[in-house]
Structure 1
Amino acid sequence: MTRYEDDEFALLRENADEAGIPWGGQPTVRRVSTDVGGGQKASALLWGDEPPKVVFLHGGAQNAHTWDTVILALGLPALAVDLPGHGHSDWRADRDYMAWRAAEAVDPVLRAWAPVADAVVGMSLGGLTTIRLTAIAPDLVRRGVIVDVTPSVGLRQPSMTRAERGTTALVEGPASFATFEEIVKLTAAAAPHRPLSNIRRGVLHNTRRRPDGRWEWRYDRLSGGDGFATLWEDVSAAKVPLTLVRGGASIFTADEDAEEFVRRSPSAQVHVVPGAGHSVQSDSPLPLAAIIREALARS
């Protein structure tokens, strides 16, 4: 793990090789920070030397590195944001990390680093945040790609089994662990279809070692809000092209949710990625990259 601790981008070639993406050399990518108010800072990964064409917002209990393989596949300048309370971004004292607060924090990040991006891609919590951004910052969202979530997700989760929730169920488990391998084992059990190299890399990006030697997640426990249903009004009001991507093996978005999405945004396109779970970007990064390219081509 020393190589990663010295350089968080040292594993990108492993991402490329695992997905079969031709390796043209280490890409230009660096970490940037933005003051988002209230003494808080948000961190993000800035890919490329040109202004970002695509912005990526991850799901709850994830971080910006979840998009590494998708961004490598696209080969476009991009900005991947660590949402508040995640990755290298600051934690909030009130622990309110829901879409409304997240969108307020993401707004200044996009204005600083990606004011003319062609699309915002958000998965799960990041997808709900993208929906909210269409309402509070429509000038920053020219196209929206929403990955495996709708404002009805709060109705789906209570009835899901732990297996159906996959890695999202880990947020209800221990907050710290004696060893790194203990976390890898738990994560692999929650996502048995992913290669172990994928699991280890994800855990490396999403954990940190404490001064006492124990390992902990690199995210705060989520809190705030009683549901997301009011975000349906933002879907209805959105004036930009929207794309909804569903994981074919995920039940986070039901058929009726997708139908409601299209009813409220008649021009929206819906794609299903066969075999992908809730984290489509981890399970099927190349098909997702192809869908994003298609969305970018929409007028």
Structure 2
Amino acid sequence: MMIDYDEFSMFGENISEYSLKVSARPKVERVSCSLSDGRTLSALQWGIQSPEIVFVHGSAQNAHTWDTVILAMGISALAIDLPGHGHSSWRSDGNYEPSVLASDVATAIETWAPKTRLVVGMSLGGLTTLALAGQRSDLVSSLVSVDITPGVNSEKAKAITDFVNGPQSFASFEDLLARTIEHNPTRSESSLRRGILHNAKQQTDGTWQWRYDRSTHPSPQDTTKRLERLSALWDVISRLSCHMTLVRGGTSPVVDDADVAELKRRKPDCDVIVVDGAGHSVQGDKPVELADALTRILAD
């Protein structure tokens, strides 16, 4: 059976599940722009004003991962689909490292959110926005990294990569949902169901495939090398001129105490917020708490 999908039809579920106080249906539109190499970059633009906040998702996610957070904040925002994810084009070279992705995020901000006051990135998105702050400090006045530092390694990220490196296709939606639930024990089934509809596509034969680019998925050995290259971003943190906040998932293994200590050594004025009960995907596990934290940061 084919399942109908309308990416703007499920906001009512987000609102109901988290008892959000939303007075009217939010104005959300999908926007896209052409990049110099012919690729398309896509994003969700929330509200009628110029976005005050920009969100960048993690690996194997998409812009809709921020839906509940943005609904809870009730703010004009831009949520970007990174290249190779969501509705953005895949890269022919398969290079999705933060230093490469940062230039596309810069284009998105210049195009749709030139007045943004806060840039928020989670996991791969957090490393990408950190690289962006190093390359284009004029675009980042305040930075929030969600459960990620350059200290991430294969061991810390194992639970995530085990899920991402799983099958590309599934015989049914139920099979895909079952695997997703298995690897995301802190999330509600309803939120995972919505997430799959946004992050996978049903094929004409009824099977399901992930939307994100896995065609050049790195081997475990190459993944280790890529993670080692991320350590250069510690030097970016040392040079940051903007304010930085780390939001750490209270139950996540991805950021440990040693990472926080190194972060504070590199940037002593960095704020650290721990969200109790949240795993790596803080926006999925505790979206209202994350929204509250971001609202406070914007108010400072």
Fold equivalence (TM over 0.5): yes
CA–CA separation in structure 1 for the residues paired with 2:134 and 2:212 = 27
Within the candidate set 167, 171, 188, 1:178 is matched to 171
Match of 1:219 in 2: 212
Pairing 1:248–2:250 present: yes
Match of 2:186 in 1: 193
Letter in 1 for 2:155: P
Is the deviation greater in 211-220 or in 41-50?
211-220
Match of 1:291 in 2: 293
CA–CA separation in structure 2 for the residues paired with 1:47 and 1:138 = 24
Contact persistence 1:121–1:145 (CA under 8 A): yes
Contact persistence 1:45–1:81 (CA under 8 A): yes
Match of 1:158 in 2: 155
Match of 2:234 in 1: 232
The Cα shift of 1:199 comes to 1.1
The Cα shift of 1:212 comes to 3.6
Match of 1:142 in 2: 141
Match of 1:278 in 2: 280
Pairing 1:21–2:20 present: yes
CA–CA separation in structure 1 for the residues paired with 2:156 and 2:187 = 24
Letter in 2 for 1:203: I
**Any idea what the Cα deviations from partners look like across 1:259-282, whole Å, max 9, x if unmatched?**
111111111100100110000000
The Cα shift of 1:294 comes to 1.9
1:158 counterpart SS class: coil
1:112 counterpart SS class: helix
Alpha carbons of structure 1 residues 74 and 2: separation in structure 2 relative to 1, 3 Å? farther
Contact persistence 2:84–2:212 (CA under 8 A): yes
CA–CA separation in structure 1 for the residues paired with 2:4 and 2:206 = 17
The runs of 5 or more residues in structure 2 that have no matched partner are: none
1:46 counterpart SS class: strand
CA–CA separation in structure 2 for the residues paired with 1:92 and 1:61 = 14
Alpha carbons of structure 1 residues 292 and 36: separation in structure 2 relative to 1, 3 Å? same
Letter in 1 for 2:201: R
**Any idea what the Cα deviations from partners look like across 1:229-270, whole Å, max 9, x if unmatched?**
001111111100000010000010010101111111111100
**Any idea what the Cα deviations from partners look like across 1:214-235, whole Å, max 9, x if unmatched?**
2100101254862210011111
Match of 1:60 in 2: 59
CA–CA separation in structure 2 for the residues paired with 1:94 and 1:61 = 17
CA–CA separation in structure 2 for the residues paired with 1:210 and 1:30 = 25
Contact persistence 2:86–2:211 (CA under 8 A): yes
Contact persistence 1:13–1:23 (CA under 8 A): no
Figure out how many residues of one structure are paired with residues of the other and give that number: 291
Match of 2:47 in 1: 48
Contact persistence 2:29–2:44 (CA under 8 A): yes
Contact persistence 2:3–2:202 (CA under 8 A): no
Letter in 2 for 1:226: R
Is the deviation greater in 216-225 or in 62-71?
216-225
CA–CA separation in structure 1 for the residues paired with 2:80 and 2:104 = 10
After TM superposition, the score normalised by the length of structure 2 is 0.93
The Cα shift of 1:43 comes to 0.5
2:231 counterpart SS class: coil
Contact persistence 2:118–2:144 (CA under 8 A): yes
The root-mean-square deviation of aligned C-alpha atoms, in Å, is 1.7
Pairing 1:88–2:91 present: no
The Cα shift of 1:37 comes to 2.2
Alpha carbons of structure 1 residues 101 and 160: separation in structure 2 relative to 1, 3 Å? closer
Contact persistence 2:156–2:254 (CA under 8 A): no
Match of 1:210 in 2: 203
Contact persistence 2:2–2:206 (CA under 8 A): no
After TM superposition, the score normalised by the length of structure 1 is 0.93
**Any idea what the Cα deviations from partners look like across 1:174-229, whole Å, max 9, x if unmatched?**
11111111100100111123221111001111100223432100101254862210
**Any idea what the Cα deviations from partners look like across 1:142-199, whole Å, max 9, x if unmatched?**
1000000000112xx23665xxx25x52211111111111100100111123221111
Q: Percent identity?
A: 47
CA–CA separation in structure 1 for the residues paired with 2:119 and 2:11 = 22
Contact persistence 1:4–1:11 (CA under 8 A): no
